[in-house]
C-alpha cells in the first residue's frame, strides 16, 4: 500500500491569509492547526482547508510546498481558486 504525502493550503478565517504546508496525515494536521498546536498558525484560527495535492513521496511534496510558497506559486493558488475567492454577485 502506498503512503501519500499531501501539500495543502489553508485560509485563515481570522485574517484571510494563506498557509501552505505538507503532511502524511491531512485530517490530523488540520485538527492540529485548528486546535492551536501548530506554532505558525495558532493565532490565526479558525483555518479552513481550501486546496490540497497528493504526492507519492515526501521529496516531491516538499518541493511542491516550497514552490507554492514562492511568488509564482501564490499566483498559481490564487488562479486555481479564482472562483472560490471571488465573492458571489
Whether 30 and 47 have beta carbons less than 8 Å apart is answered as: yes
Q: What percent of the chain has pLDDT over 70?
A: 97
Is the pLDDT reported for residue 87 higher than 80? no
**Predicted local confidence at residue 86, as pLDDT:** 84
Mean per-residue pLDDT for 10-22?
Answer: 95
Whether 47 and 19 have beta carbons less than 8 Å apart is answered as: yes
* CATH for 25: 3.40.1440
Domain of residue 77 covers 5-85
Element (H, E) at 51: strand 47-55
Residues 6+ away with beta carbon under 8 Å from 38: 29, 32
**Predicted local confidence at residue 2, as pLDDT:** 75
Instruction: Give the position of cell 471571488.
Output: 86
Q: What percent of the chain has pLDDT over 90?
A: 89
CA distance 24 to 1: 14
Mean per-residue pLDDT for 11-15?
Answer: 94
Mean per-residue pLDDT for 28-43?
Answer: 96
Report the predicted TM-score, pTM, of the whole model to 2 decimal places.
0.92
Q: What is the DSSP code (8-state) at residue 27?
A: H
Mean per-residue pLDDT for 15-21?
Answer: 95
Could you give the number of structural domains in the chain?
Answer: 1
Amino acid at each position: 500500500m502506498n503512503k501519500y504525502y499531501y501539500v495543502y493550503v489553508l485560509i485563515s478565517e481570522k485574517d484571510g491569509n494563506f498557509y501552505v504546508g505538507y503532511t502524511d496525515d491531512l485530517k490530523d494536521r488540520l485538527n492540529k492547526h485548528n486546535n492551536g498546536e501548530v506554532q505558525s498558525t495558532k493565532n490565526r484560527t479558525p483555518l479552513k482547508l481550501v486546496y490540497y495535492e497528493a504526492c507519492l513521496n515526501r521529496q516531491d511534496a516538499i518541493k511542491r510546498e516550497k514552490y507554492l510558497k514562492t511568488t509564482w506559486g501564490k499566483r498559481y493558488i490564487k488562479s486555481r481558486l479564482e472562483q472560490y475567492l471571488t465573492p458571489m454577485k
